[in-house]
Structure 1
Amino acid sequence: MSDPALESTRRRLTARQADTVDRLGRAAVDLLSREGFSGLTVRRVAAEAGVGAATAYTYFSSKEHLVAEVFWRRLASSPGTTHETGDLAAKVIDVLGHISLLVADDPEFAGAVTTALLGKDPDVGVLRVRIGRDIRGRLSDALGPGTDPDVIDALEMLYSGALVRAGMGYSSYQEIAQKLEKAARLILR
């Protein structure tokens, strides 16, 4: 796969453009932590990043697109997990835990990711597919060749549901991690 820093939903980026997108992403996360998702706009993020609003809109169609892109970039640039055990459930738990940790340290960002990924923005739809493929690939790698696709589907549903539940505030990310472990072990019995 190519360098995720140079990829965008809409086009391949030059190094300078990638820097602008990165600044916008960092500004979005900072603004989210202070104002929450309701206080986030692409215009406000652009101002925080020192970028013109028109420039920001060339990269992001909406605040949902911006948040989903930040999550995608974190996921795509994070290394895969190494599996030093033969326990399939432990491997899956490592994968799901690793992905969960990409948002766990910032509850406002985590909630925004949940909201953004549920949106109808076509650019978010592109990112949902990319994110889904990445997560499916990581689960498939952990489980090995020949794994029943229905098992992988169930684990994807488990993870998606867990993030929605945490994003809605029903459980903390710590609680979700424990519940993911129990549920993964049940699925992989």
Structure 2
Amino acid sequence: MSTPVPHNLEATRRRLSGKQAETVERLTKAAVVVLAREGYAATTIRLIAAQAGVGTATAYTYFSSKEHLIAEVYWRRLVAAAPPPLPDADIATRAITVLRQAATLVADEPELAAAMSQALLGNDADVDHLRLRIGGELRTRLLDAVGQENIENLEYLELLYYGAMLQAGMGHLSYADVVDRVERCAHRLLS
């Protein structure tokens, strides 16, 4: 599991004071608890707010939907996990190091992982914003791993990763299988 996100991390909708950042932190932690207990379909902002000890209206001040809140959980975990140190190795090994870290951020929390896949497919404008931020962060990390001269391969790696994560989110693969298959495919692609 990644380290906690600093309280001053900018939220997707607005800048936060210290107290507001603590409220958002409580809501994101509560979302993980509620998802583990209730599953994605039964999870609501109301249940998450109650778990966090805040009013439902307060939760909606920060998050437009449960999808937005769940996407924020993943975004916070991604940025809290510093980019992995890249080995002095071939680009396949370097790319796999990045992809393995991203794929395993929620691998030990199946309800959160499934919810994250569903949430990121939502059409909420705030989810769109987070999808772009998440994709940009992963692209930056992959680009550092493969280098500018391999930009075409970068696009293939992104398609490989997102396709594998979608299959895991749909229940066709476990997140452990995602890591193994992405590794095999990346070696084949980049060899």
Instruction: Report the AA paired with residue 159 of structure 1.
Output: Y
Q: How many residues align?
A: 186
Aligned twin of 1:168: 170
1:79 aligns with 2:82: yes
| Matches for 1:37-52 after TM superposition, within 5 Å | 37-52=40-55
Rounded Cα–Cα distance in structure 2 between residues aligned with 1:150 and 1:144? 10
- Select 1:60's aligned residue among 55, 58, 63: 63
CA-CA distance at 1:84 after TM superposition: 2.2
Q: How does the TM-score come out when normalised to structure 2?
A: 0.94
Rounded Cα–Cα distance in structure 2 between residues aligned with 1:58 and 1:175? 38
- Select 1:187's aligned residue among 180, 186, 189: 189
Ranges in structure 1 where 5+ consecutive residues have no aligned partner: none
Aligned twin of 2:132: 129
Rounded Cα–Cα distance in structure 1 between residues aligned with 2:12 and 2:173? 31
SS of 2:104's equivalent in the other structure is: helix
The answer on whether the counterparts of 2:96 and 2:183 sit within 8 Å (CA) in structure 1 is yes
Q: How does the TM-score come out when normalised to structure 1?
A: 0.95
Aligned twin of 2:3: none
Instruction: Report the AA paired with residue 108 of structure 1.
Output: E
Q: Percent identity?
A: 51
Rounded Cα–Cα distance in structure 1 between residues aligned with 2:100 and 2:7? 21
Rounded Cα–Cα distance in structure 1 between residues aligned with 2:15 and 2:9? 6
Rounded Cα–Cα distance in structure 1 between residues aligned with 2:147 and 2:154? 11
1:144 aligns with 2:157: no
The answer on whether the counterparts of 1:4 and 1:76 sit within 8 Å (CA) in structure 2 is no
